[in-house]
Amino acid sequence: MTLGTPVGQPWPMTAPAPLHGGFEKSEMYDVLERACAVAGLDSSESDLLRGHTNAVVRLRRAPVVVKIARKGTPPVKVGHTVAFVRWLMSQGFPTVPLHTGPEQPMVVNGHAVTFWTYLPPTAASITAADLAEPLKALHRLPPAPVPLPRLDNIAAIRTSLAATRTLPDADLAFLARVADQLEHALSGVAFVLPEAVIQGDPQHRNALRDRNRTVLCDWDTIAYGQPEWDLTTVEVHCRRFGYGQPHYASFADTYGFDVTAWSGYPVLRDIRELRMITTNARKAHHAPGTIAEVRRRIAGLRESEGDLAWSIL
């Protein structure tokens, strides 16, 4: 099934193609159908919205989006995400709401499944400045009554490197050396903002419009940590994906803190970019078409090309 192809139609008699998340489309269809049957939802017409890590499917016959986690994702972790979002909703926080109905997460054939309210796209695109107020509100929330991990980007980088099967040993060794250097540099960073709940991967594609306000979505990376990580992530996306410095400056003005003017920014920037590179290198096993972009980013890292434009994967 390609993007926008209705599920529920006969599948061609060819070898099943894997989604980026590592499971086959036929398996996704089966999990979707079984989960929706339990939830009392009609999955006969639907569209695949995203398939990079999880399968995210919009149902056409109900205002619902179904998110199917890749097999191996612990249901307890997804359960913590659901509990966290329910808490956000109780706080009146601007988040995409969970769909009211079945107990979540639902586990089908080893996949944790969640259901969300579908928010139709609007003519106005999300800007970095639109992310500022929701992020500031998130960073000012009291501690959540839900178990959340502490953010550890260096550990995540090493986990991705250990699982990567698409890069030559020389590249893996180079990336590991960079991780070691950045871990040492991080030990000398003096953070200035108070620790808080952080989104972990705030970006234009992880936000939507709900009538007249911007709401955050995709809470898989929630953690406790320093808000500077979230702010650096926004800056990296603005610079690397062609939005431009004025776009980021508007975000910084609205949030009230310019992370690029802080002494620790270069270290966090380099760690954030290394994590993006290594995460996509790990996932490239299930998305072979992305490896050329990963290698291009590594070449740019070797040459210290901080303004090299990246293609979104």
* Mean pLDDT, residues 49-57 taken together: 85
Domain contains 54: yes
Same domain, residue pair 106 and 180: no
Domain contains 164: yes
Greatest extent of the chain over all pairs of C-alpha atoms, in Å:
58
Q: Report the DSSP beta bridge partners of residue 116.
A: 65, 98
Neighbours of 47 (CB within 10 A): 16
97-156 pLDDT per residue, tens: 999 988 999 999 999 999 999 998 887 889 999 999 999 999 999 999 999 999 999 999
Domain contains 18: no
> Which of 86, 117, 148 is the C-terminal boundary of a domain?
117
pLDDT at 59 > cutoff 70: yes
Q: How many domains does the chain have?
A: 2
pLDDT at position 246, please? 94
CATH assignment of the domain containing 238: 3.90.1200.10
Confidence label for 19 from pLDDT (cuts 50, 70 and 90): low
pLDDT at 14 > cutoff 60: no
Tell me which of 63-72, 110-119, 272-281, 284-293 is least confident.
Answer: 284-293
Which range of residues forms the domain containing residue 235? 128-302
Expressed in angstroms, the distance from the first to the final Cα of the chain is: 18
284-300 pLDDT per residue, tens: 887 778 899 999 999 99
CATH assignment of the domain containing 39: 3.30.200.20
* Mean pLDDT, residues 239-268 taken together: 96
Same domain, residue pair 98 and 135: no
Residues 284, 293 contacting (CB under 8 angstroms): no
Same domain, residue pair 63 and 135: no
